[in-house]
Amino acid sequence: MASVTLPISISEVNSLSDEQFEAVFANVIELWPNAAKEVKRKRPFQNVPALCEAFQTYLEDITLEDKLTILKLHPDLAGRLAARGELTAESAGEQRAAGLEGLTPEQKKIMDESNQRYKAKFDFPFIICARENKVQSIIEGLQRRYSNNKEQEITTGINEVKKICKLRILDIVKN
């Protein structure tokens, strides 16, 4: 498969082979290439918002089981994978943009404890669009959203995945 130089135009998106489309958009939803496999069938896209909308609709229309799987594929914010340098390139950049690499020891302790408590309650990691937040708002979100019920958090988590997905698409496709 020929490599694709990013960013690309919407016309280039529409002319990608199926394999190229799947490769380019494989991680717009963290570790979930199935989305690209489905969304490629919606081509041609009129514009970038239409491409983003196709992924958003995909996330709305999948089963609850798939939504839960997607939520569980996300890494903990400032967690073990980050500490070991094992995040996807996208996640690493997003966590860096939010300032999660430079946590104070106290912030790290709060994040670790809050992440564990959240995951124990909901059975998936806390998800927030890191690029739209900084450390303090992430910690506040973790603590505030803990009072939600599981159904609310599934909805909120998927809505955050949609924001992350859109920003990742905008990294790939020039408007």
Query: Which residues are catalytic, by number?
Result: 74
> Degrees (nearest 5) of the Cα angle 88, 93, 95?
95
Phi and psi of 154, rounded to 5°?
A: -65, -45
Residue 175 has pLDDT above 90, yes or no: no
Rounded to the nearest integer, the mean pLDDT of the chain is 96
Residue 3 has pLDDT above 90, yes or no: no
If you search the block for the tokens 């490599």, which residue do you land on?
Answer: 3
Residue 153 has pLDDT above 70, yes or no: yes
Question: What is the number of structural domains in the chain?
Answer: 1
C-alpha–C-alpha distance, residues 120 and 98, integer Å:
24
Kindly compute the dihedral angle of the four CA atoms of residues 70, 73, 77, 79, in this order, to the nearest 10 degrees: 160
C-alpha–C-alpha distance, residues 94 and 149, integer Å:
27
Give the domain extent around 7.
1-175
CATH number reported for the structural domain that contains residue 99 in this entry: 1.10.3330.10
